């Protein structure tokens, strides 16, 4: 059960949407996924997955079992098979004579470029695997990767996979403290980082955060990290600890270009990826090798209609998120795709940078997030209109519900009114896409992810776990195990069971609200727990609250995600100051100073992405008699709505107090 109040999101505003866009006959005829795919999966679901695993993935030892669900909810897929993920992503393409195919068109933010073929990738991943081995990393050791979007980031992940060392990528925007807690939880042996990366036209630093994260701190001993491997990207000066720190290029130069991939069991851990849950402590989501790789390849091939020989694919996600894992690294490379990898921001040096890249590389499949689309909408359609986007033939969306206006804009302005849009629902926990149209089959609807993929069983249920009829709303659940499902939370089996499997008996509870329309299509409505979605990034209200109360001036804090036109949600914090500090916020300057201090504090504790957009200093927080904060009421305040039903409050005058206080100009502050 989520630890705090859950509120089903409003079903209004949606489902007045009746437009539908069937694929063109030409697209449908050439599509990888035909309607028969649904039938095949339905006829024999496990047999279907076994076929996908055999067809899309190479096994060094073939499996004979498909699914072992006897230890549910921990699944074992293809468990007696062996394979290597890096071999699948790289070597087998070279062995099949496709070594000259471009794997990555890298574009640095400053404009430097690099073309990496599959043969290049094989050499570099092999060298990196040898370098890791010579630094003492062996099968089962954890490696934390804290890097910008570079070719080296992909190489680092694959080198880990090659030696069977699970990687844990930490998004480069997380702070030293956030990095430290992840390194400690994973008990990592080695960290791979860079001096820095380019962001918004300037080099930003990464190494100092690593130095801070791994040494002794505040009475805590040093972490388990033995070595730090440092990629040189920006040439800025870095502090150096002899014996511990090693330059990536030095280590690779010394290493042999031959490395034999280590076959691992299908259930060997491939990676741990930390994500926000409903408590303050991030969850290390554990994924294993065989099932994950199978579903990554299957979804990438069918949802994006990938034709590896001719398509140029581009997923704009950072490798620090699951989308970067599955749809920059494992899915496309396992399928032998050619892709674009871009280091920087969409508006550097100008707001047409993405579209310039689409034109330059003739990108045919683009996968991005609604927040990016809405930002481009705000910048105006003249900007994309200045570039030739006619190469685009499939568009994808991920990370949050896409509003119909943004969907239509994406289709018309970017997709030339012809490219199908696949709105893909999934999570860090699901490992790969679960609900999405198939571009050659489904008549797409603006704003809906629509249907579970062949092989996946999803439903919308009410509070009693009963399937709701068409037209009804409730909670999204997954009713059958799937190959790329999480195998647990690192080191915390009980939390895994409690979080996902205790809300509804035998069903995976995703934490999302959903509705079925009259055709039975699924519309995702956002989180029903205390997880926010800001620019497609998952943030926990509780985690930000913990960060706020760890500051001296704060007595209590409550955080909500308020609707935001561009970022989906924005972080709004309500804080009660400690008695002796309450006076400080009584003048506009004083309040501003406190708010700034708290924002910076959150950035330091978690990372700039978690900084509250607004911080409101309030005298009280609305609580139920059992002491739970009623975020629903705070959300009303944050979204400037009339405050809803407050009758269950322990003290019903609290909302008046809050509203009265907020009327004063000193109490609100926006970036």
- Which positions touch ligand WTA (CB under 6 A)? 275, 321-323, 398-401, 423-428, 449, 510-512, 524, 527, 533, 538
| Smallest distance from ligand WTA to CB 512, Å | 5
Measured from the CB of residue 122, what is the shortest distance to ligand WTA in angstroms? 29
User: Shortest gap between Cβ of 427 and ligand WTA (angstroms)?
Assistant: 4
Closer Cβ to ligand WTA, 282 or 511, answer by number: 511
Report, in Å, the least distance between residue 426 CB and ligand WTA: 5
Strand ordering across the sheet containing 522-527: 458-461, 473-478, 508-516, 522-527
Nearest-10 crossing angle of helices 118-134, 151-163: 60
Q: How far apart are CA 671 and CA 669, in angstroms?
A: 7
CA distance linking residue 529 with residue 511, whole number of Å: 6
Question: Can you list the alpha helix ranges (DSSP code H) found in 57-205?
Answer: 85-86, 92-93, 118-134, 151-163, 176-186
Tell me the DSSP string of 492-533: -HHHHHHHHHTTTTTSEEEEEEEEE-TT--EEEEEESSSEEE
> CB of 608 within 8 A of CB of 599?
no
Helix (H, G, I), strand (E, B) or coil at 330: helix
- Least separation in angstroms between CB 383 and ligand WTA: 25
**Smallest distance, Å, CB 68 to ligand WTA?**
26
Nearest approach, Cβ of residue 449 and ligand WTA (Å): 5
Kindly tell me which of 248 and 426 has the beta carbon lying closer to ligand WTA.
Answer: 426
Nearest residue (CB) to ligand WTA, 56 versus 435: 435
> Please, what is the minimum distance in Å from the beta carbon of residue 545 to ligand WTA?
20
Smallest distance from ligand WTA to CB 450, Å? 10
Q: Which is nearer to ligand WTA, 273 or 637 (CB)?
A: 273
Please report how close the Cβ of residue 276 comes to ligand WTA at its closest, in angstroms.
8
Pick between residue 165 and residue 514 the one whose CB is nearest to ligand WTA. 514
Tokens of residue 275, six digits: 């994500």
Using DSSP bridges, classify how beta strands 421-424 and 394-398 pair: parallel, antiparallel or unpaired.
parallel
As measured in angstroms, the least distance from the Cβ of 65 to ligand WTA is 29
Residue closer to ligand WTA, measured from CB, 361 or 407: 407
φ, ψ (nearest 5 deg) of residue 668: -110, 150
Give the Å distances, CA to CA, from 569 to 354, 401, 539, 572: 24, 11, 10, 9
C-beta closer to ligand WTA: residue 189 or 325 = 325
| CA–CA separation, 646 and 636 (whole Å) | 11
Write the CA distances from 545 to 176, 248, 401, integer angstroms: 18, 38, 25
Q: Which helix (H) or strand (E) holds 635?
A: helix 631-638
**234 or 428, CB closer to ligand WTA?**
428
Q: Are 425 and 396 in contact (CB under 8 A)?
A: no
Tokens standing for 458? Answer: 């999803």
Q: Which one, of 570, 270, 287, 571, lies nearest residue 427 by Cα?
A: 287
CB closer to ligand WTA, 185 vs 429: 429
User: Token pair of 73, please?
Assistant: 């909810």
* Contact criterion met (CB below 8 Å) for 530 and 631: yes
Please state, in angstroms and rounded to a whole number, the distance separating the CA atoms of residues 447 and 442: 14
* Nearest to ligand WTA of 431, 440 (CB atom): 431
**Which CB, 127 or 538, lies closer to ligand WTA?**
538
């Amino acid at each position: 059960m989520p630890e705090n109040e859950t509120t089903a999101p409003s079903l209004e505003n949606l489902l007045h949407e009746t437009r539908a866009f069937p694929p063109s006959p030409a697209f449908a005829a050439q599509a990888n996924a035909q309607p028969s795919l649904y039938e095949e999966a339905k006829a024999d679901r496990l047999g279907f997955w076994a076929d996908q695993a055999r067809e899309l993935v190479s096994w060094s030892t073939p499996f004979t079992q498909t699914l072992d669900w006897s230890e549910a909810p921990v699944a074992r897929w293809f468990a007696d098979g062996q394979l290597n993920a890096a071999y699948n992503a790289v070597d087998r393409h070279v062995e099949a004579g496709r070594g000259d195919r471009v794997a990555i068109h890298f574009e640095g933010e400053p404009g430097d470029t690099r073309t990496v073929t599959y043969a290049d990738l094989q050499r570099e991943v092999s060298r990196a695997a040898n370098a890791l081995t010579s630094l003492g990393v062996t099968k089962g050791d954890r490696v934390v990767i804290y890097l910008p979007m570079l070719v080296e980031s992909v190489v680092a992940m694959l080198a880990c996979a090659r030696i069977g060392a699970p990687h844990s990528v930490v998004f480069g925007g997380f702070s030293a403290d956030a990095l430290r807690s992840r390194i400690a939880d994973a008990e990592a042996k080695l960290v791979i980082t860079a001096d820095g990366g380019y962001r918004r036209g300037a080099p930003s630093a990464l190494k100092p955060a690593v130095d801070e994260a791994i040494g002794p701190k505040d009475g805590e001993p040093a972490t388990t990290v033995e070595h730090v491997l440092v990629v040189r990207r920006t040439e800025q000066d870095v502090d150096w600890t002899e014996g511990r720190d090693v330059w990536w290029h030095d280590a690779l130069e010394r290493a042999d270009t031959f490395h034999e991939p280590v076959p691992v069991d299908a259930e060997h851990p491939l990676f741990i990826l930390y994500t926000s849950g409903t408590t303050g402590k991030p969850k290390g989501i554990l994924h294993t090798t065989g099932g994950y790789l199978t579903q990554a390849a299957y979804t990438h091939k069918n949802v994006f209609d990938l034709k590896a020989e001719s398509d140029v694919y581009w997923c704009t996600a950072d490798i620090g998120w699951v989308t970067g894992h599955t749809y920059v690294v494992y899915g496309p490379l396992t399928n032998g795709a050619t892709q674009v990898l871009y280091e920087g921001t969409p508006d550097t040096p100008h707001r047409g940078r993405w579209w310039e890249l689409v034109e330059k590389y003739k990108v045919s499949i683009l996968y991005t997030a609604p927040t990016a689309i809405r930002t481009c909408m705000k910048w105006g359609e003249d900007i994309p209109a200045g570039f030739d986007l006619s190469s685009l033939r499939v568009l994808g969306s991920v990370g949050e519900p896409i509003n119909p206006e943004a969907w239509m804009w994406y289709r018309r302005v970017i997709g030339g009114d012809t490219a199908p849009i696949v709105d893909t629902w999934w999570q860090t926990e699901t490992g790969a896409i679960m609900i999405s149209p198939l571009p050659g089959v489904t008549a797409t609807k603006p704003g809906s992810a629509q249907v579970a993929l062949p092989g996946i069983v999803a439903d919308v249920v009410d509070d009693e776990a009963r399937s709701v009829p068409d037209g009804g709303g409730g909670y999204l659940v997954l009713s059958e195990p799937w190959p790329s499902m999480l195998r647990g939370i690192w080191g915390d089996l009980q939390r895994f069971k409690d979080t996902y499997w205790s809300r509804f008996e035998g069903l995976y509870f995703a934490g999302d609200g959903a509705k079925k329309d009259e055709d039975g299509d699924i519309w995702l409505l956002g989180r029903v727990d205390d997880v926010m979605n800001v620019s497609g990034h998952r943030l926990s209200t509780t985690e930000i609250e913990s960060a706020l109360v760890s500051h001296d001036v704060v007595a209590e804090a409550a955080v909500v995600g308020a609707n935001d036109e561009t970022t989906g949600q924005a972080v709004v914090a309500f804080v009660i100051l400690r008695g002796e500090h309450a006076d400080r916020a009584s003048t506009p300057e004083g309040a501003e100073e406190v708010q700034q201090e708290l924002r910076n504090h959150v950035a330091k504790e978690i990372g700039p992405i978690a900084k509250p957009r607004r911080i409101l200093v309030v005298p009280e927080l609305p609580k139920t008699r059992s002491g739970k904060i009623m975020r629903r009421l705070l959300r009303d305040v944050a979204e400037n709505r009339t405050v809803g039903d407050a009758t269950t409050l322990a003290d019903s005058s609290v909302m008046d107090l809050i509203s009265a206080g907020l009327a004063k100009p000193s109490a609100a502050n926006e970036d």
